[in-house]
Amino acid sequence: MQSRVTSLSVIARAVAAACIFSALVTGCVTEPPQAKIEPLACPPLEKPVCPAAPGPKEAAPPAPPVEYRGKLEAAAWGDIPEWGKESLYPSLDAFVKSCAVLEKQDPWKGVCAGAATFGPASPERDIADFFQLNFDPWTVVNPDASTSGMVTGYYEPLLHGSRAKSARYKYAIYGVPPDLLTIDLSSVYPDLKYKRLRGRLEGNKVVPYFSRGDIDDSAARLAGNEIVWVDDAIDLFFLHIQGSGQVELDDGERIRVGYADQNGHPFRSLGRALIERGEIPAERASMQGIKDWARRNPKKVQKFLDKNPSYVFFRVLPDDLSGPLGALGVPLTPERSIAVDSRVVPLGVPVYLSTSYPNTAEPLNRLMVAQDTGGAIAGAVRADFFWGFGDAAGAQAGKMRQSGRMWVLLPKGYTPPAATAVTP
């Protein structure tokens, strides 16, 4: 009898265990056999909980706007019009000045050393051979695959001024103000490699620097940064465009000033503004035409000057320079130096320019050197021809607006980087 009870107890425990197992698996409730054992209630199964759907991803910040400027395509020497027909030594001499910067780069060491061996008495044929043996030509190509562009001119003007402000000398040439900030974001945004932001602190915020209108409206904004005072607002405006000049003081002394920095605002053409407002016809929008308009309309001058918000700050240059300093940091050579868009044409390199003399169809085919840049010089086939110092140079520069083509000369075996998009 005891063994039977024991058996029943064992059976009951087995059934209970089975129920627990079944409950865990199926969620059932099982009645026990006839033995008096409390019924077991299996716990209900929990409903599976689905994970919450992920919300929308946070939008990434928009990439900086970019545009494609142009490229260099391999060419042949036979593509270059009238190669070697004009004296090459002045161009070679200008290139040797570039070598003060270029020779620090391996591809240029050999050609710079070779260029330095020539002198004014060297045969022109030998100089032509030097270029052909050591360089390959590359055609400058626009984004639309065309190879023609605009060639303008610039020069080093002479202004008249004084170190003290007076009723005659009342327009200041300013040095770089101490509150001008330059912000370089290229380490974070590589697309901004060629972009430098300018601004100033207002509390704990960086805001745009003062525009031309702001500065001209309140000279107190830059008080204490005057280098010299000049007598003509239009001459000063064109000094900003040229980027360098000489000032003859009232005691006969001359000082040379050159570009030091800029307020960060975009350049806007005064000539275009005058044309759009019907002040002058398009054919009169040369430097000479604009100066003539200004002298006839003195009350309108400031209003139109302020339409170009860009403002240039200067520094005094050494007296012994052979010419004004370009963006490369070497003196410019009259009629052999050009300003280019360095995002396509590297600074310092020889560039063969095929264009024409100002307001004529007379060919001007010449080996130049890319030694400068400018706010209005943007695009692949785009050059500014440096004519030199003084009124005669200014007469040529002011009316030059010609079509042209360009070939860059690079050391043999050197391939320029592939064209890339850059910030506008």
What would the DSSP string read from start to end of 372-413? Answer: E--TT--SSSEEEEEEEESHHHHHHHHH-EEEEEEEEEEETT
Structural domains of the chain, with CATH: 1-48 (no CATH), 67-268+308-422 (2.40.40.10)
User: What are phi and psi for residue 393, nearest 5 degrees?
Assistant: -65, -40
Helix (H) or strand (E) holding 312: strand 312-317
Burial annotation 209-226 (CB, 10 A radius, 16+ → b, else e):
bbbbbbbbeeeebbeebb
- HSE of 102, CA atoms in CB hemisphere, 13 A: 26
Confirm if 290 and 275 have CB atoms less than 8 A apart. Answer: no
The pair of structure tokens assigned to 181 is 């900030």
**DSSP secondary structure string, 217-273?**
H-GGGGTT-EEEEES-HHHHHHHHHHSEEEEEETTS-EEEEEEEEE-SPPP--HHHH
Q: Mean pLDDT in the chain? A: 83
3-class secondary-structure state, position 108: helix
Q: Is the pLDDT of residue 3 over 70?
A: no
- HSE of 254, CA atoms in CB hemisphere, 13 A: 10
Question: For the ranges 240-244, 333-337, 369-373, 407-411, which has the lowest average pLDDT?
Answer: 240-244
How high is the pLDDT of residue 38? 46
**Strand blocks (E) in 318-377:** 337-339, 350-356, 363-372
pLDDT tens digits along 104-161? 999 999 999 999 999 999 999 999 999 999 999 999 999 999 999 999 999 999 999 9
Q: At 209, is the pLDDT very low, low, confident or very high (cuts 50, 70, 90)?
A: very high
Burial annotation 100-131 (CB, 10 A radius, 16+ → b, else e):
ebbbeeeebeebbeebeebeeeeeeeebbebb
How high is the pLDDT of residue 26? 39
pLDDT tens digits along 295-318? 899 888 888 888 889 999 999 999
Residue 356's CB is within 10 A of a number of other CB atoms, namely: 16
Alpha carbon distance 86, 352 (integer Å) = 12
pLDDT tens digits along 226-258? 999 999 988 999 999 899 999 999 889 999 999
Q: At 194, is the pLDDT very low, low, confident or very high (cuts 50, 70, 90)?
A: low
Alpha carbon distance 151, 135 (integer Å) = 24
Alpha carbon distance 245, 421 (integer Å) = 34
Confirm if 340 and 279 have CB atoms less than 8 A apart. Answer: no
